[in-house]
Amino acid sequence: MRRHPLRGLLLGVTLFVAGCADLTHNPRVDQAHERWGHMRATVKLQLAEKSFEKGVIEEAFKQCSEVLRLDPEFVEGYLLSVRIHLERGEISKAKAALATAEGLAPLGPEMLYLRGLIDERQGQLAEALEYYRGAYEARPDDLDYLLAYVECLIATDQHEQALTVITPKRMDFEQSPAVHTLAGQTSSLLGRYVEAAECYRFAYHLAPDNPLLREEAGIAFLAAGWDNEAIEALMPLAHLQTTQPADGPATHISTSAVQALATALVRKGRPDRAEPILERAVRDQPDRPALWVMLAEVHLRSGHVDRAAMAARKGLDLDPDLPDARLVLAYEALQADRCPEAVDLAQTMIDRNPDDVEARAVLARALERSPGGSARAAEHYRHILTLIPGHRWARLQLDRLNQQARAD
C-alpha cells in the first residue's frame, strides 16, 4: 500500500513534539537549567555585594532581588538580603529573609552574626551578645565578628572582658585601624590612658587621612599627657577650619577635638595659637557654651582680659550655670579692681561648691583688697591648704598675711 506523503509528515511532527515533551521533563535537563540559574545568580550576587560595600543600597537591593529570582534557594542571597533590609531599617523583612536562609541550610556563623545584628537593632543587647559570641568563637579570624562581639561587650559594660578579647587580636589584625581603635576605646573606658594612646598611635599611623580617627587619637593623646602628639593629630583639622572663607562650609571638627587642641596648646605655653582656632569654632558653632568658655580662658591666658569677659558672658547667656565662665568674670573684675563684684561672683561659686580652689583663691585676693578683709582672706587660704596641703601659692599668701599681722 502506498503511504500518503502528508500522513507521513504529520506522523513525523507528532513524534517530534512528543519527543520534545519528554525532553522538557528530563531530570538532566532540569539540573542543567538549575546550574545555569545558580551560575547567573552567583555573578549577580557578587555585583550586589560590591554595591552593598560601596553603600549603594538601592542598587544592591535590586541586584539581590534578581539573585533570588534566578535561584530561589540561594542561601547567600538571603543572607545578603538580611543586611540590605537592616540598612533600609526593615527589621521584619530582615527577620523573614533570615528565617528563609535558616530553613535552607544549617545554622552557621554568618546566621548567628545576623541574628545578633537584628537583636542589637531591637535593643536586645544580651541576646545579641550571645549570638555575636557564637559567631566569633566559630570563626575567630573574621574581623566583622570580632568587632561586633567586642563592641557589644562594651555596650553591656563588660569592659575588662572586651579588652581581654581585643588585645591579643591586635597582632592578628595588625594592619586594621579598627582593631587598634577599639582597643584604644576600651582602654580609655577603663582609665588606662597611656595604653589607649599607644593603641590610637597605631591606628592613626595606619589611617592618617581619617578625620574622625584623628579626632579620637588627638583626644586620647591629650588624656595621656602627650601634648605634642595631640597637636600633631588635631592641628591639620583646625588648620583647614581656620583657613576656610568665613562664609564657606565648616570643616568637620568636633567641640571636644577643638577643646583638646586648645588645651594642648595652652599646656605648651601657646594660648596665642589657640585663640584663632577657638574664634573660628565659635563662629561656626555659636550655640556651644563650652567653646565660649574655653575661648574666654584662652583670652585670659593671653592677657586679653576684656575679650575674655565678653566670651564668658556669651557662654553664660547660653548656659547660666557655667562655673568656669563665672570664674573668668571674677578674674576680670579683680583685674579691673572691681573687688565687690569679684567677691560676689567668687562667693556664688563657693556656695555651690565649697571645695572650688580657684574660686577661693580669687575670693581671697579680692578680700585682701577690701577694707578689713585680710582675716577672711587668710581663712580661705587655710581652707585651700586643707584641700591641697602642698599648694605653694596659698602657703606663700598665708605666710605673707601672717607676717603683716605680726608687723601690725
pLDDT higher than 80, residue 97: yes
Give pLDDT tens digits for 217-239: 999 999 999 999 999 999 998 87
Average pLDDT for residues 345-354, to the nearest whole number?
93
**Average pLDDT value for the chain:** 88
pLDDT higher than 80, residue 355: yes
Q: Determine the pLDDT at residue 260.
A: 95
Q: Determine the pLDDT at residue 26.
A: 57
Q: Using CA atoms, how far apart are residues 149 and 158, in angstroms rounded to an integer?
A: 11
pLDDT higher than 70, residue 251: no
Q: Determine the pLDDT at residue 42.
A: 86
152 vs 21, higher pLDDT: 152
Closest by Cα among 386, 390, 366 to 376: 366
Q: Using CA atoms, how far apart are residues 313 and 296, in angstroms rounded to an integer?
A: 9
Grid cell at residue 11: 506522523
Amino acid at 108: G
Q: Give ∠ CA 367-369-372 in degrees, rounded to 5.
A: 65
- pLDDT band with cut points at 50, 70 and 90 for residue 35: low
Q: Determine the pLDDT at residue 37.
A: 59
Grid cell at residue 123: 535593643
Q: Determine the pLDDT at residue 249.
A: 45
Residue in the structure block whose three cell numbers are 573687688: 339
Instruction: Say if CB 364 and CB 377 are below 8 A apart.
Output: yes
Q: Using CA atoms, how far apart are residues 159 and 167, in angstroms rounded to an integer?
A: 12
Average pLDDT for residues 259-268, to the nearest whole number?
94
Q: Determine the pLDDT at residue 13.
A: 42
- pLDDT band with cut points at 50, 70 and 90 for residue 31: low
Per mean pLDDT, which range of 159-168, 201-210, 242-251 is the poorest?
A: 242-251
pLDDT higher than 90, residue 169: yes
Q: Using CA atoms, how far apart are residues 128 and 86, in angstroms rounded to an integer?
A: 15
Residue in the structure block whose three cell numbers are 583657613: 243
- pLDDT band with cut points at 50, 70 and 90 for residue 2: very low
Q: Determine the pLDDT at residue 288.
A: 93
Q: How many CA atoms lie within 13 A of 36 on its CB side?
A: 6
State what percent of residues in the chain have pLDDT above 70: 87
Residue in the structure block whose three cell numbers are 570563626: 139
Q: Determine the pLDDT at residue 57.
A: 92
Q: Using CA atoms, how far apart are residues 96 and 91, in angstroms rounded to an integer?
A: 9
Average pLDDT for residues 320-338, to the nearest whole number?
92
Grid cell at residue 66: 534578581
Average pLDDT for residues 371-380, to the nearest whole number?
91
Q: Determine the pLDDT at residue 17.
A: 43
Average pLDDT for residues 357-381, to the nearest whole number?
92
- pLDDT band with cut points at 50, 70 and 90 for residue 124: very high
Average pLDDT for residues 245-271, to the nearest whole number?
80
pLDDT higher than 80, residue 314: yes
pLDDT higher than 90, residue 96: yes
- pLDDT band with cut points at 50, 70 and 90 for residue 1: very low
Q: Determine the pLDDT at residue 85.
A: 94
Q: Using CA atoms, how far apart are residues 328 and 333, in angstroms rounded to an integer?
A: 9
